[in-house]
């Protein structure tokens, strides 16, 4: 058992932002706070992105606090996993954040003397506060439909997407109306024998500029759900899909002609109750992710609505726990701001009478 003031769980954008602000406030890595990351190397969830997601296709990537995200000429064509992974590596070194990896945080529960017990694959920590910055990548959402187990083809999720090459000459059904679904679909359509796009709701395409006012309104919608203790929706889900040149071309050529959600899966494809059928070799589920917060389950933070209610970043049911990169702070710029806000509150907590070790 090791005593520490603050444990940061996760070293993606949100976790590194929290660690940066902890250090800037005067706390020292490995003496006052520790950063634990289950990934094998720097880069957060970006290191697991598919190779065809080049840096030039990434929208809204903001620099971490204190260090600009500078890229060299030609980086737009490099995989985003390489560009952002290198940036995170340099960031950790520059600020001496000493991330411990790979370390799996298995559970956070009530400890002794008002402290939190953080149980990990590398031993246990006794902490006065916790920043949970675990994102969503580890919890891909797979919907369930009748007949799913009978499908003779291949089913995979965005989390396992290998790039378009493996779909050459195949009939592919892409499920999901978000940014990943449209990107997958447009890539695959160039090499597949046939593609079908299926979504639960008609996709919303966003024409024109998207300024600060629209951004604040979108974040406010996500924030309102979190304040009510409901599972958060992604910020992207309320902003719509930005229309660029590739989207315009795909709409004109029919690639983005959408069908409503099928009713069941058959051994050879998908089917609707009105008699329509589509044969498929592959079903690609671009159906999003859920917050990875199972490690917090022993603390009983969930509300009846299924989410964790937060005020700012602080869990309402436990002031020692802050969720950064959760709900309204899930964007990269939101994670930066949330890291600073969480540390401000944690410093106030630490300034009180010390918890008994």
CA separation for the pair 330, 56 (Å, rounded): 21
Cα distance between residue 168 and residue 185, in whole Å: 13
Instruction: Note whether 131 and 324 are within 8 A (CB).
Output: yes
Say what the pLDDT of residue 262 is. 98
Q: What is the DSSP letter of 289?
A: B
The answer to whether 210 touches 239, Cβ cutoff 8 Å, is yes
Binned at pLDDT 50, 70 and 90, residue 225 comes out as confident
- Mean pLDDT, rounded, for 39-67: 87
| Average pLDDT for 290-295 | 95
**Res. 57 pLDDT band, cuts 50 70 90:** confident
- For the chain, state the CA radius of gyration: 22
H/E run at residue 217? helix 212-227
Residue 273 is predicted with a pLDDT of: 97
- The average pLDDT across 175-202 equals 94
CB contact at 8 A, 161 and 352: no
- Given this model, what pLDDT does residue 150 score? 98
Query: pLDDT tens digits, residue range 297-356?
Result: 999 999 998 899 999 899 999 999 999 988 777 777 778 889 999 999 999 999 986 655
Q: What is the mean pLDDT of the chain?
A: 90
Q: Average pLDDT, stretch 19-25?
A: 97
The 10s digit of each residue's pLDDT in 103-151 is: 999 999 999 999 999 999 999 999 999 999 999 999 999 999 999 999 9
pLDDT score, position 289: 92
Q: What is the CB neighbour count within 10 angstroms for residue 223?
A: 19
Pairing of strands 123-132, 116-120: antiparallel
Per-residue pLDDT at 3 exceeds 90: yes
Give Cβ neighbours of residue 269 (< 8 Å, ≥ 6 apart).
Answer: 151, 153, 171, 173, 277, 278, 279, 280
pLDDT higher than threshold 60 for residue 212:
no
User: What is this structure's pTM?
Assistant: 0.89
pLDDT grade for 230, boundaries at 50, 70 and 90: confident
Task: Name the H helices within 137-206.
Answer: 179-189
In the sheet with 258-260, reading across from the earlier edge strand, the strands are 154-157, 282-285, 171-175, 194-199, 258-260
The residues facing 302 across adjacent strands are 308
Phi, psi of 278 (to 5 degrees): -135, 125
First to last CA, the chain: 10
Q: What percent of the chain has pLDDT over 90?
A: 70
How does residue 75 score in pLDDT terms, banded at 50, 70 and 90? confident
Q: By the 8 A CB rule, do 32 and 128 touch? A: no
Q: Can you give the pLDDT at residue 213?
A: 62
């Amino acid at each position: 058992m090791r005593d520490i003031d603050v444990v940061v769980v996760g070293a993606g954008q949100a976790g590194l932002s929290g660690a940066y602000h902890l250090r800037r406030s005067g706390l020292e890595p490995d003496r006052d706070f520790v950063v634990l990351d289950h990934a094998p190397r720097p880069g957060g969830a970006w290191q697991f992105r598919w190779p065809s997601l080049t840096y030039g296709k990434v929208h809204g990537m903001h620099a971490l606090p204190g260090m600009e995200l500078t890229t060299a000429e030609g980086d737009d064509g490099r995989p985003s996993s390489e560009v952002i992974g290198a940036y995170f590596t340099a960031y950790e070194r520059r600020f001496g954040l000493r991330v411990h990896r790979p370390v799996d945080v298995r559970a956070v529960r009530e400890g002794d003397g008002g402290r939190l017990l953080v149980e990990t694959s590398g031993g246990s920590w006794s902490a006065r506060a916790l920043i949970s910055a675990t994102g969503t990548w580890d919890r891909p959402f797979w919907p369930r439909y009748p007949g799913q187990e009978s499908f003779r083809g291949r089913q995979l999720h965005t989390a396992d997407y290998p790039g378009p090459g493996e779909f050459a000459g195949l009939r592919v059904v892409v499920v999901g109306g978000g940014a990943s679904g449209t990107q997958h679909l447009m890539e695959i359509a160039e090499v597949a024998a046939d593609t079908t796009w299926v979504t639960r709701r008609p996709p919303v395409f966003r024409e024109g500029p998207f300024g600060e006012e629209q951004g604040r309104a979108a974040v406010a919608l996500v924030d309102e759900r979190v304040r009510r203790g409901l599972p958060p929706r992604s910020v992207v889900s309320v902003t719509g899909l930005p229309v660029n040149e590739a989207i315009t071309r795909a709409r004109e050529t029919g690639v983005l002609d959408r069908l409503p959600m099928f009713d069941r899966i058959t051994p050879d494809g998908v089917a609707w109750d009105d008699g329509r059928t589509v044969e498929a070799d592959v079903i690609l589920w671009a159906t999003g992710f859920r917050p990875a917060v199972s490690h917090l389950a022993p603390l009983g933070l969930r509300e009846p609505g299924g989410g964790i209610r937060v005020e700012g970043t602080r869990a309402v049911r436990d002031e020692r726990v802050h969720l950064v990169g959760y709900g309204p702070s899930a964007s990269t710029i939101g994670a930066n701001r949330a890291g600073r806000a969480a540390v401000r509150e944690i410093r106030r907590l630490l300034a009180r009478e010390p918890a008994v070790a």
